[in-house]
Structure 1
Amino acid sequence: MSHLEQMPLTIERGTIQSGSFSLGYSIEGAGTPVLVIGSAVYYPRVFSQDLRRSLKLIFADHRGFAPSSGEENPDYSLERVLADIDLVRSRLGLDKIVILGHSGHGYMALEYAKAYPQHVSHVVMLATGPSHSAAHMAVLERSWQEAACPERKARLDADMATLGAAIAATPERRFIAYCVKMGARSWFDHTFDAGPLWDGVHVNMPLFDFMWGEVFRDIDIAKGLDKLNAPVFLGLGRFDYLVAPSPTWDAYRPHFHDLTVRIFDKSSHTPQFEESDVFDSELLGWLSSRQ
């Protein structure tokens, strides 16, 4: 065991103010800085401790997960979210970063790299489809109907029967209720209860309604890729039934200067958690090969 492996991992937490929003962050580990977009409460729970011995993981809220002092008609645009990400980067004294986004946050990571290329060395997108358009969602539904086993479908039916009551109980947390109840579509082990991963996570539903319901529905990720030189790693789970399946990426591959696609065989929507050893090895190997 190396000296580094024996050292306790340090954690630095704090907040950065952006208007009325308090963006939380948690800096964990040592090595190349990787800015993980999303919730500074949820995302530390789904990346391995071992990865923190090779990378400095900076988990940062966007304003969809950040407490607010109250603001009438707050700005939930993608451009504002990207500016907040850059604010976090700047306040933490980071110059070049690896930008990482999981699920819908993969779009944020890619669009940040396009908007602020001088600060991005690598882009990592995990469990992200090309868009949430009707066409891509139709391919997803066909994949679910044709490939999902009866046990998965039965579990989903049972969980969907209780989704309405869960949302009615805490409507302000309906995004979380939806994520938990969609477990049969989002975990390799379709019986896995993701509820504890969401404990203590704050959500601002207007951002999710707008971003996931409109922005990611209409997004054209090919736009601006001709000017993006940073290498991109796309990690997908073979059993992911939340986003459009991997073949839908084929039309977009030629637009990337340097795209690596890795499909994880025993994962669904969160390969960094479901196959952490394999994921860590693949990500670190890719980063090393793209120095």
Structure 2
Amino acid sequence: MMIYQKLMCDGFELKYCIKGQGQPILVVGSSIYYPRLFSENFYQHFQVIFLDHRGFGKPTHALKQADYTLDKIVKDMEYARQTLQLDDLIVLGHSGHAFLAMAYAKAYPQHVQKIVLLNTATTNSQERQQQSLSYFEAHASAQRKHQFTHDIALLEEDLKREPERRFVHMCIRMGAHSFYDYMFNATSTWDNVHPNMEIIDYLWGVAFAEQNLLQEIQQVSKPIFIGLGRYDYLVAPVSLWDAVDYTPHVKKVIFEKSGHNPMFEEPVFFDEQLIKWINEE
């Protein structure tokens, strides 16, 4: 059973939970969704703090665009660090949240020991998104494409029923883009996750589209772990990251039997690789 606590940040109620003990790892995103992806073994090695950002927090007032700038979300992360009296952090961001992890590490390098970027593209620009879709069409198997066609046809009814959970339903119906096992149904991992779509749309459509992680990696000196899934068509192809292969402070691992969630799909190998990297440098 997860025990949740709350932080009040500038009119947002942000939940967080803590699992395990040891070196602190701050995981930004949904505090409900992300604990479901990591193995119990992983929590034997680290103190993992799962923190909502404003896209998953509960606002106490009507939203204004000024409420969800990237700078304010990064300051929320710092407020959580101060409140929990954490230091020498590993900051971890998965998918779009990798952009938040990097933004925090750039803003508060004195509190960050290492950075973990999982299953992210180098940018979320429209051009890159189209590139990933084209890669899927060119390289996915016929069976995977058929499953995607079946699943995505269900999205319209999902959105009629719960338009406020569009992000969640999109993630579920994109399963054939997201998992090595393209028939896997991820619905249960998203139970009780309620995004603020106005904020999610801004982050993924504007803030993350303006960032380029290849450039930002060269601007930080912290050790960086980049984990990618060979079958992660959401941010494909993995060759987007070829440019970091000779960057001394970057460790890149490709998980050959994973899509968008190697910590869930290959937990033993994922734990082995990340634990080794954290402990050896």
Does TM, scored on the shorter chain, surpass 0.5? yes
TM bucket by the smaller chain? over 0.9
Partner secondary structure for residue 105 of structure 2: helix
The alignment's TM-score, normalised by the length of structure 2, stands at 0.95
Which whole-Å CA distance do the structure 2 matches of 1:71 and 1:223 have between them? 36
Any unmatched runs of 5+ in structure 1? 1-9
| Equivalent residue number for residue 59 of structure 2 | 68
1:42 to 27, 33, 46: 33
Range that drifts further, 240-249 or 43-52: 240-249
Output the CA distance in 2 between the equivalents of 1:146 and 1:176: 26
Maintained 8 Å contact 2:27/2:49: yes
Alignment partner, residue 249 of structure 2: 258
Query: Is 1:187 equivalent to 2:179 in the alignment?
Result: yes
Report the alpha carbon displacement of residue 142 of structure 1 after superposing the two structures with TM. Answer: 2.8
Equivalent in the alignment of 1:7: none
The one-letter amino acid paired with 2:72 is R
Q: C-alpha displacement at 1:253, in angstroms?
A: 5.5
Contact 1:104 1:212 in 2 (8 A): yes
d(CA) in 1 for partners of 2:280 and 2:154?
Answer: 47
- In structure 2, distance between residues paired with 1:80 and 1:66: 13
Structure-1 separation of matches of 2:196 and 2:153: 25
Q: 2:17 matched to which residue of 1? A: 26
Deviation string 1:94-123 (CA, Å, 9 cap, x unpaired) is: 011100011000111111111110010010
| Superimposed CA distance per residue, residues 110-149 of structure 1 (whole angstroms, 9 cap, x where no aligned partner) | 1111111001001001100101223322331232122211
Cα deviation for residue 19 of structure 1 reads 1.4
- Aligned residue in 2 for 1:173: 165
Task: Supply the distance in 1 between the matched residues of 2:215 and 2:195 (Cα, whole angstroms).
Answer: 29
Determine whether 1:232 maps to 2:246. no
Task: Give the counterpart letter for 2:38 in structure 1.
Answer: F
8 Å contact 1:67–1:202 — kept in the other structure?
A: no
Q: Distance in 1 between matches of 2:215 and 2:10?
A: 29
Q: Distance in 2 between matches of 1:184 and 1:148?
A: 9
SS in 1 for 2:85: coil
The aligned amino acid for 1:37 is V
Q: CA RMSD in A?
A: 1.6
State the secondary structure of the residue aligned to 2:252.
Answer: strand
Is residue 192 of structure 2 the alignment partner of residue 203 of structure 1?
no
The answer to whether the Cα contact below 8 Å between 1:20 and 1:70 also exists between their aligned partners in 2 is: yes
Size of the alignment, in residue pairs? 280
Give the match's secondary structure for 2:61: coil
Relative to structure 2, which stretch is displaced further, 67-76 or 90-99? 67-76
Structure 1 distance, partners of 2:63, 2:16, is 25
CA distance in 2 between counterparts of 1:267 and 1:16 reads 34
CA distance in 2, matches of 1:179, 1:159: 11
In the alignment, does 2:133 pair up with 1:141?
Answer: yes
d(CA) in 2 for partners of 1:71 and 1:118? 35
**Aligned with 1:279 (options 264, 270, 279):** 270
Match of residue 261, structure 2, among 247, 254, 270: 270
Amino acid of the structure 2 residue aligned with 1:184: A
Are 1:158 and 2:150 an aligned pair?
yes
Alignment match of 1:122 (pick from 114, 126, 134): 114
Structure 2, unpaired ranges of 5+ = none
> What is the 5 A alignment of 1:208-227?
208-227=200-219
Distance 1:66 1:236 in 2: 27
The answer on 1:113 being equivalent to 2:93 is no
Rounded to whole Å, the distance in 2 between the matches of 1:139 and 1:261 is 21
Query: Is residue 241 from structure 1 mapped to residue 262 from structure 2 by the alignment?
Result: no
Q: Distance in 1 between matches of 2:60 and 2:268?
A: 40
**Structure 2 residue 90 is matched with structure 1 residue 77:** no
Is the 1:136–1:248 Cα contact (8 Å) retained in structure 2? no
| C-alpha spacing 1:284/1:20, structure 2 compared with 1 (3 Å) | same
CA contact (8 A) 1:231 1:259 kept: yes
